[in-house]
Amino acid sequence: MYRYDEFDHKFVAERVSQFRDQVQRRLNGELTEDEFKPLRLMNGLYLQLHAYMLRVAIPYGTLSSRQMRKLAHIARVYDKGYGHFTTRQNIQFNWPKLVDTPDILQELAEVEMHALQTSGNCIRNVTADQYAGVAHDEIDDPRIYAEIIRQWSTLHPEFSFLPRKFKIAVTGAETDRAAVKVHDIGITILINEAGDPGFRIDVGGGLGRTPIVGKTVRDFLPKQDLLTYLEAILRVYNMLGRRDNIYKARIKILVQSEGIERFRELVEMEFALLHGGSLDLPKSEIARIRAYFSPRAYEKLPDQLEEGMEASRADSEFDAWLATNTVPHKVSGYAIVNISLKPVGGIPGDASAEEMEAVADLADRYSYGEIRVTHEQNLTLPDVRQKDLYDLWLSLNISGLATANIGHAGDIIACPGLDYCALANTRSIPVAQNISRRFADMRRQLEIGPLSINISGCINACGHHHIGNIGILGVEKNGEEFYQITLGGRADDNAAIGRIVGPGFAFEEVTDAVETVVNTYLSRRSHENESFVEAYERLGEEPFKEALYAAR
């Protein structure tokens, strides 16, 4: 993992003491709320429905066990014993006191963590493939470039007051697990036809009230030009992005209004001016950062998964978990393990202090002390020996963390919604809980196959409903909660925005509606390996519409 150097330590420590002073001035009355608000937001501190909320950055979703224990400690000492992992690989604490936040940030700094770039109109915390560095289909490790971007973007003086927030995601694998096509900038590591490593740069993707799949602005960018090119894009956006209308301020609107060709011309002109300057990324710098992410000293082990694990024959529950929650590792004899934070009827993404500590202990015992946070609101142990999988599963089971539903109907992504969020119009968590209970039977989930259900409690779309195979968007009508259903969204290489299937459903009806959609799929799929989204693409929306609305 990346470790802070002297500069990083000093910078974060100075930031904490600066914020301590700002909080004190607010409490003394020297700062009004209007003056203080931008300052607290720059340190990840929001004011939500019930209390303040602190959003802590987990750069590219990578955590050490020591950091996870610190998060558990903060949850227990300063909050109400839990935290919420978000769809941007961060964690939120829902009940911190303003007076305690400087101490919380101080504690975070002790383990090289902070809450920078988790709010405001700046370049936000960079996200990446949760399987970075261990994926079997990886070309290069996205964490290296995410870390380089983090260092470039943190407090970038030119880009601290952009027209609007700015989100960057990086993937280095053939399969896109970072949803790069729905980010302001999506970066895909690739090798070109000449055999040179570089990036494809997509721009202008996003969700929210105007969901758009990003467009490719550069098919191939040499590695040394990464920061220069990003700077060029940000400059064009900073100059031309709209500041008169918050709903039209994201880069996606600019790309749409200029057209991708014109936008590309503008970026390339800026790039030509900057090229060969101080942002040039020398190979030595990439190598220096790469050293922090150098591969583990893996043991030479035979691959057991292909032959079937010995223990698995005795335990069908373990077998099911193995099938849904583990992923092939690039090294023979190892596996990537996903820990679902979606128990039946649970709150998606929530983890108690005890659960965080249990995961930290298991990471130490089985995965070199490293943990990943996924944008699906789950956790990952990236480096587990296959021969340890059964013991790991037993331990997860004891902690209630062995739910075997990754990528299936129970693995629902949901924003906090009106239960916590000041922006939300409707609740989303109880909708997720009801659907989760309806599909509690894991045999049924396996029969349904891969399915993503995403729920947002307002049009800001933090639950990424647009890219759920089944998306649910809460809207308030005359004081009542209604839920619009979209179908056919996907976040993978063939990213697509789901289409609204018809009029919304009341809170009490939405679980039935989801079940109707699923049953329609089951009865219409061409064979059992045709996934929901494939069947939807083949069938179109008509059969689903018919099933949902014919009887109404």
* Closer residue to another protein, CB minimum distance, 23 or 404: 23
Residue 25 token pair = 């001035």
Q: Which of 13, 39, 51, 279 binds another protein (CB under 8 A)?
A: 51
Nearer CB in complex with another protein: 39/539: 39
Is residue 405 a contact partner of residue 323, using CB atoms and an 8 Å limit?
no
CA distance 209 to 3: 38
Q: Per CB under 8 A, does 111 bind another protein?
A: no
**Candidate ranges 96-104, 229-237, 355-363, 495-503; the one touching another protein (CB under 8 A):** 96-104
Give strand pairing partners of 191. 197
Are 341 and 379 contacting, i.e. CB atoms less than 8 angstroms apart? yes
Note the residue count of the chain.
Answer: 552
Kindly state whether residue 225 participates in binding another protein, applying the rule CB under 8 A.
no
Binding of another protein at residue 344 (CB under 8 A)? no
**Of the listed pieces 188-196, 313-321, 428-436, 534-542, which binds another protein according to CB under 8 A?**
428-436
The contact pattern for another protein, residues 135-174, with x = CB under 8 A and - = no contact, is ----------------------------------------
97 belongs to the binding site for another protein (CB under 8 A): yes
Torsion of CA 41, 465, 257, 152, to 10 degrees: 40
As a whole number of angstroms, the distance between CA 449 and CA 446 comes to 5
* Comparison of 298 and 507: residue with beta carbon closer to another protein: 507
Q: Does 218 bind another protein (CB under 8 A)?
A: no
Please name the residue that has the structure tokens 């503008």.
Answer: 266
The smaller minimum CB distance to another protein, of residues 369 and 416, is found at 416
* Contact between 508 and another protein per CB under 8 A: no
Q: Roughly what angle, to the nearest 10 degrees, separates helices 260-274 and 251-258?
A: 110
- Measured from the CB atom, is 84 or 177 closer to another protein? 84
Q: Per-residue DSSP letters for 424-474?
A: -SS--HHHHHHHHHHT--HHHHHHH-S--EEEESSTT-TT-GGGSSEEEEE
Q: Please say whether the beta carbons of 380 and 372 come within 8 A.
A: yes
With a CB cutoff of 8 Å and minimum separation 6, the contacts of 521 are 448, 532, 535, 536, 544
> What are the CA-CA distances from residue 168 to residues 187, 188, 487 (Å)?
8, 11, 26
First to last CA, the chain: 55
Beta carbon nearer to another protein, 176 or 419: 419
Q: How many CA atoms lie within 13 A of 272 on its CB side?
A: 5
Residues 372-411, interacting with another protein (CB under 8 A) = none
Residue 11 lies near another protein (rule: CB under 8 A): no
Using rule CB under 8 A, residue 270 touches another protein: no
How near is the Cβ of 309 to another protein at its closest, in Å? 37
Query: Does residue number 438 form part of the binding site for another protein (CB under 8 A)?
Result: no
Binding window for another protein (CB under 8 A); candidates: 92-100, 173-181, 206-214, 326-334 = 92-100
Q: How many CB atoms lie within 10 A of CB 341?
A: 24
- Which of the 8 DSSP states describes residue 340? -
Residue 95 touches another protein, criterion: CB under 8 A: yes
Residue 506 as a binder of another protein (CB under 8 A): the answer is: no
Nearer to another protein, 305 or 423 (CB): 423
Rule CB under 8 A: say whether 482 interacts with another protein: no
Binding another protein (rule: CB under 8 A), the pick from 1, 13, 39, 49 is 49
x/- binding map, residues 12-41, to another protein, per CB under 8 A?
--------------xx-x--xx--------
Angle at 214 between CA 422 and CA 148, to 5 degrees: 80
Nearest approach in angstroms of CB 543 to another protein is: 33
The contact set with another protein (CB under 8 A) reads 26-27, 29, 32-33, 47-52, 80, 95-99, 347, 418-420, 427, 429-430, 433, 476, 479, 481
